Amino acid sequence: MKKLKHLFAIPVVFLLLLVTPAVAADDWVVVSDESSIRFTGTQTGEAFSGVFKRFETDISYDPDNPADARVRAVVDLASVSTGDTQRDTALPTKDWFFVSSFPQATFEAVGFQLIGGNLFNVTGKLSLRGLEQNITLPIDLKVEGSRAAMQTTFTLKRADFGVGTGPWAEGKWVGLDVIITLNIIAERRMP
């Protein structure tokens, strides 16, 4: 009789697993034409701005459980544009992004730490030019229905990632601090 009880329990458990809704984060798709990765630096004391025209993201986020969020972003470094031909020609070279050996920058993070309201800290690993560092991004994230808007501005030290070597390494001609601004619009992926 005990064997029969155990045999009966197996299909019951299986059926319960089938009908119990899984708790999982939603996947989000970035709206490319409404999103941007921009940066600002200085050259000979004058500010200049640029943009990365191509990037991909993989975002998994449940507004009710931000600690389980996952983000992976991949930036095509060859897509850099500052509107200045000389600068745009130099940035992909070995002295700067070294695109021939390191064509992409990646950022990967697990978990959003709620600070309050719409503000989160997102700590993850940034890989650039073969170097990796953990960085924390202050994120302002607003979710309305099936649409999310995320914005952050933070400063990177380019020398921490070997960007700008040789005569550019000391910051005499090109500043060491680079301000990065992300404006991302994403929509919940429908099953």
pLDDT of residue 191: 65
Q: Phi, psi at residue 140, to the nearest 5°? A: -105, 115
Whether 175 shows a pLDDT value over 70: the answer reads yes
> Which pTM does this prediction carry?
0.83
For residue 114, give the CATH number of its domain: 2.40.128.110
Domain assignment of residue 123, yes or no: yes
Mean pLDDT of the chain: 88
What is the domain extent for residue 39?
25-188
Domain assignment of residue 84, yes or no: yes
For the chain, the domain total comes to: 1
Domain assignment of residue 1, yes or no: no
Domain assignment of residue 128, yes or no: yes
Residues 165 and 157: beta-carbon distance below 8 Å = no
Choice among 5-14, 45-54, 107-116, 144-153 with the minimum mean pLDDT: 5-14
pLDDT class of 23 with cuts at 50, 70, 90? very low
pLDDT of residue 25: 60
Q: For 22-35, what is the mean pLDDT?
A: 80
